[in-house]
Amino acid sequence: MSNYEEIATRIADIIISPDSVLGFINGAISVPLDLGYMAYGVFDTDSHYSHETETIRIIQAMRNGILNYDRILDAIEIVFSKFDQYVSVSKQNKVLSLGSFSIIGRAVTNSAISSTIAKAIAQRAGWTVALRGGAVGNILLIGGMKERCIRTSEQLSVDEPELYQVLRVKDYDLLYFMFEPALKPFVDALIVRRQQGIPAFDNILERVESKVSGDHGHH
């Protein structure tokens, strides 16, 4: 697990400059990366059955418009609101609510970051629309993309079961692999909270706050 300072730095960077996440999104939806996963899927026969049922779920979700911009946005906002929920009950909050963090919290969940990420994904996902000959042409089913989609969802269910459950209700766990690289520091902070306790989470928040208020001081 990344150390507190690293997680805090990455969260602060995203809050200060939402555009900084765009590079991560491009990485998440690039095809070459997926060829390795594709081979993995062919040889990994143990998980074949569960992956078959997941594939059916992916096809249903796509038919239900899971790749629409508003759904992607909704999924990202769920992750942020989960993070925000813990910030607001944090004992740091007495300090943070006077400072910049409660404002940041609202800004984060509201708009700038969520919509920046969602737009980037929707635009990248758009390149597959040309292949709409059928479900197979769709981004979530291209070779290793599907494999990564499923594995990232499985990993989330282990690392952060609570967030997984909330996303799973709407099949948003299937989209998670697309925005995971961008939201990783927020999710890492939640994992720290679950594994190492509230004081550790508060420690990260304190660092984020000092970085962000420090940055705003420069302007």
Tell me, what's the pLDDT at 37? 44
Q: Who wins on pLDDT, 130 or 77?
A: 77
- The average confidence (pLDDT) of the chain is 75
Split at pLDDT 50, 70, 90, the class of 48 is: low
Helices 176-196 and 143-159 pack at an angle, to 10 degrees, of 20
Q: Any idea what DSSP says for residue 68?
A: S
Question: Over the stretch 111-123, which tens digit does the pLDDT of each residue have?
Answer: 677 888 888 777 7
Percent of the chain surpassing pLDDT 70: 65
pTM of the model: 0.78
The 3-state DSSP class for residue 79 equals helix
Tell me, what's the pLDDT at 70? 86
The Cα–Cα gap between 144 and 31 comes to 8
Tell me, what's the pLDDT at 40? 46
Give the residue carrying structure tokens 């609570």: 162
Tell me, what's the pLDDT at 4? 94
Question: Over the stretch 64-77, which tens digit does the pLDDT of each residue have?
Answer: 888 788 888 899 88
Considering 36-45, 78-87, 129-138, the range whose residues carry the highest mean pLDDT is 78-87
Considering 55-69, 162-176, 197-211, the range whose residues carry the highest mean pLDDT is 162-176
Tell me, what's the pLDDT at 129? 41
Question: Over the stretch 183-205, which tens digit does the pLDDT of each residue have?
Answer: 899 999 999 999 999 999 989 98
The total number of residues written for the chain in this structure: 219
Over residues 82-101, the mean pLDDT reads: 66
For 127, other C-beta atoms within 10 Å of its C-beta total: 11
Q: Any idea what DSSP says for residue 44?
A: -
Model confidence at 181: pLDDT above 90: no
